[in-house]
Structure 1
Amino acid sequence: MRNISGRQLLAAVIFLAATLVLTVQLINPTPVVVSVGDNGSDVVEAGKQFRYSDVGIITVAAWVMGASLLYLVLSVKRDSVLTEQSTSTPPAAPATQTGRTDRSVHLEFTDDATSPIERHRTHFDETTDRLDDTEREIYSMVLDADGEIQQRTIVADTDFSKATVTRTLDSLETKGLLERKRQGVGNVVVLQGSVPV
């Protein structure tokens, strides 16, 4: 669970208070009272209207509510970006015997030198274990097509509807396996560059 800062808590309280004030003002406009008769003895309520002071309160409450909500959204987004960056920072370089940081270039040959298709094929079994049947079939089709296939070809070559293919591709994109690129009037489905861990 993420910690909430004091400013975010204050902004949330201000947002709730402004929402309450705005709601009360909109629900309860001021009644207009009219005196009728020669001596003003008959008083009649002619309806409910917003006075200038009501409109001012509504305007200020709406502005405060919007500003506090904007602050909350931006601060939460900023915190999540900072959290992502702090979790993805590379490890520090190892220190040498003299206690200084080693600044030499270290080349390491890993499977990054292979193509995306080879990486996906290498990790195929562990990747497809996490997929349902529809996702597995579409993912396999893209691999069999050397990592690139038209979306309309997937629809034509399977028993799946366009909606099912679209939903499945959304899911596979979210999982970091495939991505769609616009090509002419349709989409081409390609493998993403790396296999997610």
Structure 2
Amino acid sequence: DNILANVMGQMNLRNLRVAETEKYAHVTYFFNGGVEQPFPGEERSLVQSPKVATYDLKPEMSAAGIADVVVKAVEEGSFDVLVVNFANADMVGHSGKIEPTVKAVETVDACLGRIEKTVRQKGGAMLITADHGNAEMMIDPVTGGPHTAHTTNPVPFIVVAENSQQFTLKPDGSLRDISPTILAMLGLPQPKEMTGHDLRVKLSKNL
């Protein structure tokens, strides 16, 4: 039961969960291991998803509003950890339509750029990843038609940090390694229940 959400609660880390309504459960109920009740130190910010029939009609979704919340929280410095979900690449990717999906990815890229700038200014760290693919495969390689489902392709894991020149990342990581990496970056012990490892590999003695 010692998932990351539990550990943050046990350590009294102030953490903010941010998502739009379409993916709100992913940063709360699912992230908390199937527990709806907030953990100690947990706060939540919900941004309303657009009222459209399908998200390819508004591929930007509510990403800008999410970025606004995150940038403000980072600037204020009132949280130790922020857990953020951008739904665009997944939800628009399900449409199978290439142009809206490109717009969705461009939107997320711009929002991440805003957040990254603020994180760097405040001397923080930012980790970017996904739990599955979708938008990277829009054409079915077998049928040649639209591909609308999730994929099992490897996903990115990107670390933005002041000391990022002091380490590289292992090339063969898995999703189970992300929580241990986060805890290591926070200087917190890894529970025995977590079987993953810190994905960082030292390039100097000052990691």
- TM bucket by the smaller chain? under 0.3
User: Using CA pairs below 8 Å that are at least 6 residues apart, which structure has the higher relative contact order?
Assistant: 2
- TM-score w.r.t. the length of structure 2 is 0.21
- TM-score w.r.t. the length of structure 1 is 0.22
Larger Rg: 1
